[in-house]
């Protein structure tokens, strides 16, 4: 039997995002030149939510982009099942922007590596920051998040799933033990 | 979801799911070609050989760009520059290429079935870029992609394909593809350009343009191969164009929002009058743009990962 | 030295024979057929065994040595495809004791010297009887007749420009009259080359799907009709080669009903395969006339059943891999057939199209009559050419194990039932494949 444990509920997620929004504003001293780029698919919804929060706090409309990192993955060569390719949509220039990259779970760091390579193909951002809802550890690359919703120490045989209303119909973070 | 075969030899062998996978993947690749840096690292270290036994600028360039935008190394071998002219057989060429260990071979050949022969002999992925009058799968895929982009769907449409159906690989691949996807295909041309028993492929046949394009959503005009006239297949270009050229008058017979396609290169004033080719109905240049995306999608799906 | 075949079922349509009998062969001739032909003296068993070779063929069928009246042995000129030696080996392995070989060699068999060369070479191979068919026209170019009388004297058994039609109707008329005056047949390759030009398979739905240029049925039918008209006018002996279409079968049937001295042959692939066999661009199934549709296959089978078609010939057309392992359109026409012909023909018996007797007739006495050779019978006193068939032997076609140099068979890997297990020519066992 698979064991499931809810580690963050809807309120928890919302509170974390609110805090992250304030931290983003604080660290960047406002919203000037700021933009958000969500990584498909979980990061996209989180980026949209962050944008709403930033808008309501600061009253400005921030550009949000969508990034599909499939074409930049380093494990494509090894992947058994070909990942479905999604659209990338960044309808604004990244040159001299402060880019906040948004993802749901930070794990090995390889996705973020691919995302940074991709971003740099789109232009020359002034800086790139990383916001994640969950940091579960086990980094394989020297990558660290600037904004973290929750640090969640996990074992390698556990999986951490961020469920969001927009795709799963529920807001919660679940930890599942695959080893059972 | 992935493709069943290692090769893309024809649309006939593809399932509806596979066609949808290719079209959806291609749609995602459109964006890459709009970037300032039109290149992704996906196929870094992969080699794609474009083996062209028949002259082609458009298709070869499209494949070359597709490969390069995915960071593959693309090598062009054309019949005029290779040892093919020295009497080397297709088998020898294939064995030699195989020994150089590319990842995919794109082949265009004037003989039907040449890609199939190659696919049986080598372990690499083979993409048919047109074999004789048999199939031209990437053209049909880009045509379907363009139709889907403009009409939102490839099913339930009436599509007229007009011209030398007998000698057209574009016609055959589109007939397979469009009928599979649920569209109604009409073929039209003078009797000597309609091959025997073509109705059994699930199409309606007409010998005049007016009947063929009445109330259709899409008109695909085929290129008239000028050398066919020397072979006395049809009497004259003058006669052909006066009865089968799509122009401002006869296009009114089709649906108001009809779209006009052509695999290129166009013989202006023979298949299509210039005002139609360059006019609002024409989506000929969209076809070219989508051609690169479709070929990127195929390369990605065939050699983008482990098989 | 005597040879005695005991316990087998003997089928000889030439004398209406179908019974379990013994065959005694002496000095290369059929000495006697009957029950208990050989009664060894009880006191001298050992000496008897020395002087007589007794082969038990219980459960087997012995028939007159099979005759293939349409073979390409390729020699002289195309020894890389086949030689008289390898073709003879293939023939013997396929159960044939006599082969009539077509003249499209290089040089074409249009003169006495080529005919004699083939005869001489075949004799030294000494595996099967080889009967050259000489060309109708010099170099088979369809312009001037060859020397029919001289060629007949040299050993030619019929005339044909096989591989090509005789397009000139006046030449065809003269050839028919000339050959007929010598009691010989013209074997006509019926193809209107204007209609077939550029084609590489049957014209129809499959060619349309594959985008290959087709050879329509009418290319064959038109020339069959013309030749029948000329044969009817001249009263000459006409033999139609490799019938493949429903239309040709109908034309021949009608002509025979009018009393014409007309004969016809088909080849196993025409009653076995359709143009669907070309779906994967298999050049080994590329043949001329091309594999047709199911309707044609059924008409050819019906033609065999009702006697419209007299003969099954292999149209053995061996090719080297360099002729076949090329793009479909560039590949040579032809199927290697000597070693699969019998097994494929036996399927007609299983399918109830022919009786075993009718099948053997079409592979022995009928071809013997058409090419005027004293073969195809087990009558006492004739050369002891005998084929022993195991009708139940299951085997699989393996192109690499064919004796023929031509590996171009579309039947590679297919299961077969029935096989020649002993081929005897002139009383000598030339091939045996006993279990």
pLDDT in tens, A90-139: 999 999 999 999 999 999 999 999 999 999 988 899 999 999 999 999 99
CATH of the domain at B69: 3.40.50.1370
At C322-357, the pLDDT tens digits run 999 999 999 999 999 999 999 999 999 999 999 999
3-state secondary structure of B66: helix
pLDDT bin (cut points 50, 70, 90) of residue B80 is: low
Q: Is residue C211 within 8 angstroms of chain B, CB to CB?
A: yes
- In sequence order, the 6+-apart residues with CB closer than 8 A to the CB of A135 are A105, A106, A145, A148, A150, A151, A152
d(CA C291, CA B307): 38
Domain assignment of residue B3, yes or no? no
Q: Cβ–Cβ of C280/B197 closer than 8 Å?
A: no
Of residues B56 and B175, more confidence is placed in: B175
Q: Do B42 and A76 lie within an 8 Å CB cutoff?
A: yes
Rounded to an integer, the average pLDDT of B77-101 is: 75
For residue B286, give both structure tokens.
Answer: 């969209």
What is the residue range of B35's domain?
A: 16-135+288-303
Please say whether the beta carbons of A90 and A106 come within 8 A: no
**Residues B171 and B53 occupy one common structural domain:** no
| C194, C295, C323, C327: best to mutate for the B interface, most B CBs within 10 A | C327
Q: How many domains does chain B have?
A: 2
Q: Is B6 inside any structural domain?
A: no
Residues in chain B: 307
* pLDDT for residue A78: 63
The reply to whether residue B114 touches residue C325, judged by beta carbons under 8 angstroms, is no
Q: For residue range A142-159, list pLDDT tens digits in order.
A: 999 999 999 998 888 889
B128 and B141 housed in the same domain? no
Question: Which homologous superfamily does the CATH classification assign to the domain defined by C2-62+383-432?
Answer: Urease, subunit C, domain 1 (2.30.40.10)
Q: Chain A: nearest CA to B143, how far in angstroms?
A: 20
B151 and B66 belong to one structural domain: no
- B100 is a domain residue: yes
Contact between B37 and A84 using a beta-carbon 8 Å cutoff: no
Give residue-wise pLDDT tens across range B227-272. 766 667 788 889 999 999 999 999 999 999 999 999 988 988 899 9
Same structural domain for residues B80 and B162? no
Give residue ranges of B with CB < 8 Å to any A CB.
1-2, 24-25, 27-29, 31-32, 35-37, 39-42, 70, 297, 300-301, 304-306
Residues B272 and B238 in one domain: yes
Cα separation, C11 vs C49, in Å, equals 27
Same domain, B180 and B120: no
Percent of chain A with pLDDT over 90: 72
What percent of chain C is modeled with pLDDT above 90? 95
Q: Do A76 and B70 touch (CB under 8 A)?
A: no
Residues of B with active-site annotation? 58-59, 86, 108, 136
What pLDDT score does B307 carry? 45
Residue B306 pLDDT: 56
Residues of chain C with Cβ-Cβ distance to B90 below 8 Å are 326-327
Which residue, among C156, C215, C161, has the nearest Cα to C188 in the 3D structure?
Answer: C161
User: Of A40, A71, A81, A114, which to mutate for an interface test with B (greatest number of B Cβ within 10 Å)?
Assistant: A71
- The whole-number pLDDT of residue A48 equals 95
| pLDDT class of C99 with cuts at 50, 70, 90 | very high
Domain identity same for B162 and B174? yes
Q: Do C2-62+383-432 and C65-370 agree at the fold level?
A: no
**Residue B200 in domain:** yes
What average pLDDT does range B12-16 have in this prediction? 97
Residues B165 and B272 in one domain: yes
What are the boundaries of each domain within chain C? 2-62+383-432, 65-370
- Same domain (yes/no): B150, B183: yes
Q: Which residue of B has its CA nearest to A89?
A: B31
Percent of chain C clearing pLDDT 70 (strictly above): 97
Chain B interface, best mutation among A66, A81, A85, by max B CB count within 10 A: A85
Rg (CA), chain C: 21
Chain C: give the shortest CA distance to residue B270, in Å.
24
* Spatial distance between the Cα atoms of C389 and C63, rounded to a whole number of angstroms: 8
Cis peptide, bond prior to residue A158, ω within 30 of zero? no
Confidence of residue B95 (pLDDT cuts 50, 70, 90): confident
pLDDT of residue B274 exceeding 50, the answer is yes
- H-run or E-run covering A15: helix A10-28
Query: Are C281 and B116 within 8 A, CB to CB?
Result: yes
Residue C343, min C-alpha distance to chain B (Å): 29
CA distance C110 to C106: 10
Helix axes C217-234, C169-181, angle to 10 degrees: 50
CB atoms within 10 A of CB A30: 11
CATH code of the domain occupying C65-370: 3.20.20.140
DSSP C368-400: HHHTT-S-S---TTSB--EEEEEEEEEEE--GG
Residues of B in contact with A89 (CB under 8 A): 31
Three-state DSSP state, A158: strand
> Per-residue pLDDT tens for C207-256?
999 999 999 999 999 999 999 999 999 999 999 999 999 999 999 999 99
What is the C-alpha to C-alpha distance for residues B209 and B273, in angstroms, rounded to an integer?
Answer: 14
**Which residue in B27, B37, B305 is closest to A79 by CB distance?**
B305
Residue B2 is predicted with a pLDDT of: 77
> Are residue B162 and residue B233 in the same domain, yes or no?
yes
Chain B nearest CA to A71, separation (Å): 5
pLDDT reading at A4 higher than 90: no
- Contact between B169 and C281 using a beta-carbon 8 Å cutoff: no
Please say if C315 is a catalytic residue: yes
Phi, psi of B96 (to 5 degrees): -65, -45
Chain B contact present for A68, CB below 8 A:
yes
Asked whether residue B1 is domain-assigned, the answer is no
Same domain for B152 and B193, yes or no, is yes
Contact across the interface for B111 and C330, Cβ inside 8 Å: yes
* Contact assignment for A76 to B2 by CB distance below 8 Å: no
Q: What is the pLDDT of residues C253-303, one digit of tens each?
A: 999 999 999 999 999 999 999 999 999 999 999 999 999 999 999 999 999
Q: Which of C161, C227, C296, C315 is catalytic?
A: C315
CA distance to B253, C10, C109, C168, C374, per residue, from C180 (Å): 66, 34, 20, 18, 19
Co-location of B114 and B187 in the same domain: no
């Amino acid at each position: 039997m698979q064991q499931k444990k809810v580690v963050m509920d809807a309120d928890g997620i919302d509170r974390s995002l609110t805090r992250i929004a304030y931290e983003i504003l604080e660290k960047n001293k406002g919203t000037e030149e700021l933009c958000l780029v969500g990584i498909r698919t979980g990061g996209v919804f989180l980026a949209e939510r962050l944008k709403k929060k930033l808008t309501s706090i600061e009253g400005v409309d921030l550009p949000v982009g969508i990034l599909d990192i499939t074409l930049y993955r380093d494990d494509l060569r090894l992947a058994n099942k070909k990942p479905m390719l999604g659209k990338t949509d960044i309808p604004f220039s990244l040159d001299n922007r402060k880019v906040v990259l948004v993802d749901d779970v930070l794990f090995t760091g390889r996705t973020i590596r691919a995302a940074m390579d991709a971003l740099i193909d789109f232009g020359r951002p002034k800086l790139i920051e990383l916001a994640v809802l969950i940091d579960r550890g086990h980094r394989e690359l020297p990558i660290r998040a600037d904004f973290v919703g929750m640090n969640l120490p996990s074992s390698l045989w556990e999986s951490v799933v961020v469920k969001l209303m927009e795709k799963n119909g529920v807001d919660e973070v679940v930890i599942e033990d695959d080893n059972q | 979801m992935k493709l069943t075969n290692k090769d893309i030899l024809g649309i006939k062998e593809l399932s509806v799911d596979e066609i949808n996978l290719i079209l959806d993947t291609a749609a995602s690749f459109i964006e890459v070609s709009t970037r300032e840096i039109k290149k992704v690292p996906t196929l870094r270290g992969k080699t794609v050989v474009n083996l062209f036994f028949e002259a082609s600028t458009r298709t070869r360039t499209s494949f070359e760009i597709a490969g390069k935008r995915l960071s593959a190394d693309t090598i062009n071998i054309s019949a005029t520059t290779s040892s093919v002219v020295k009497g080397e057989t297709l088998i020898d060429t294939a064995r030699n290429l195989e020994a150089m260990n590319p990842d995919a071979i794109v082949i265009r050949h004037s003989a039907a079935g040449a890609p199939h022969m190659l696919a049986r002999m080598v372990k690499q992925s083979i993409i048919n870029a047109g074999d004789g009058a048999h199939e031209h799968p990437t053209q049909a895929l880009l045509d379907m992609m363009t139709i889907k982009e403009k009409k939102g769907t490839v099913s339930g449409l009436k599509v007229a394909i007009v011209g030398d159906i007998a000698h057209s690989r574009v016609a055959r691949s589109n007939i397979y593809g469009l009928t599979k996807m649920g569209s109604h295909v009409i073929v039209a041309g003078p009797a000597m350009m309609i091959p025997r028993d073509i109705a059994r492929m699930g199409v309606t046949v007409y010998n005049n343009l007016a009947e063929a394009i009445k109330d259709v959503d899409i008109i695909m005009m085929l290129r008239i191969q000028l050398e066919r006239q020397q072979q006395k297949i049809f009497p004259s270009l003058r006669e052909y164009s006066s009865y089968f050229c799509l122009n401002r008058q006869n296009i009114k017979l089709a649906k108001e929002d009809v779209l006009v396609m052509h695999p290129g290169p166009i013989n202006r004033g023979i298949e299509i009058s210039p005002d139609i080719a360059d006019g609002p109905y024409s989506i000929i240049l969209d076809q070219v743009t989508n051609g690169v995306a479709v070929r990127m999608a195929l390369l990605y799906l065939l050699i983008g990962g482990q098989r | 030295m005597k040879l005695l075949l005991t316990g087998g079922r003997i089928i000889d349509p030439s004398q209406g024979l179908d019974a379990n009998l013994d065959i005694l062969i002496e000095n290369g001739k059929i000495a006697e057929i009957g029950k208990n032909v050989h009664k060894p003296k009880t006191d001298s068993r050992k000496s008897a065994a020395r002087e007589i070779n007794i082969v038990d063929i219980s459960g087997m069928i012995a028939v007159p040595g099979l005759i293939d009246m349409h073979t390409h042995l390729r020699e002289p000129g195309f020894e890389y495809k086949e030689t008289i030696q390898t073709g003879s080996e293939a023939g013997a392995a396929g159960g044939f004791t006599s082969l009539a070989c077509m003249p499209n060699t290089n040089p074409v068999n249009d003169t006495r010297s080529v005919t004699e060369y083939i005869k001489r070479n075949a004799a030294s191979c000494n595996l099967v009887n080889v009967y050259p068919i000489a060309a109708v026209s010099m170099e088979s170019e369809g312009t001037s007749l060859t020397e029919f009388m001289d060629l007949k004297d040299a050993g030619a058994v019929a005339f044909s420009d096989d591989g090509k039609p005789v397009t000139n109707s006046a030449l065809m008329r003269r050839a028919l009259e000339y050959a007929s005056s010598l009691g010989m047949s013209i074997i006509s390759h019926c193809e209107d080359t204007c209609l077939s030009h550029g084609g590489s398979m049957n014209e129809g739905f499959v060619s349309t799907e594959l985008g290959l240029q087709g050879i329509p049925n009418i290319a064959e039918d038109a020339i069959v009709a013309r030749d029948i008209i000329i044969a009817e006018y001249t009263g000459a002996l006409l033999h139609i080669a490799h019938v493949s279409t429903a239309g040709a079968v109908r034309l021949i049937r009608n002509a025979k009903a009018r009393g014409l001295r007309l004969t016809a042959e088909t080849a196993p692939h025409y009653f076995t395969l359709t143009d669907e066999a070309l779906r994967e661009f298999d050049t080994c199934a590329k043949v001329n006339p091309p594999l047709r549709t199911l309707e044609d296959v059924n008409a050819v089978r019906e033609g065999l059943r009702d006697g419209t078609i007299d003969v099954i010939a292999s149209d053995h057309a061996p090719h080297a891999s360099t002729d076949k392992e090329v793009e479909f359109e560039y590949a040579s026409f032809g199927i290697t057939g000597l070693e699969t012909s019998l097994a494929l023909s036996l399927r007609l018996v299983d399918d109830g199209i022919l009786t075993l007797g009718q099948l053997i007739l079409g592979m022995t006495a009928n071809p013997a009559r058409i090419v005027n050779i004293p073969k195809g019978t087990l009558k006492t006193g004739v050369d002891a050419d005998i084929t022993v068939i195991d009708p139940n032997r299951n085997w699989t076609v393996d192109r690499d194990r064919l004796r023929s140099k031509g590996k171009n068979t579309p039947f590679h890997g297919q299961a077969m039932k029935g096989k020649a297990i002993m081929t005897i020519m002139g009383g000598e066992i030339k091939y045996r494949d006993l279990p």
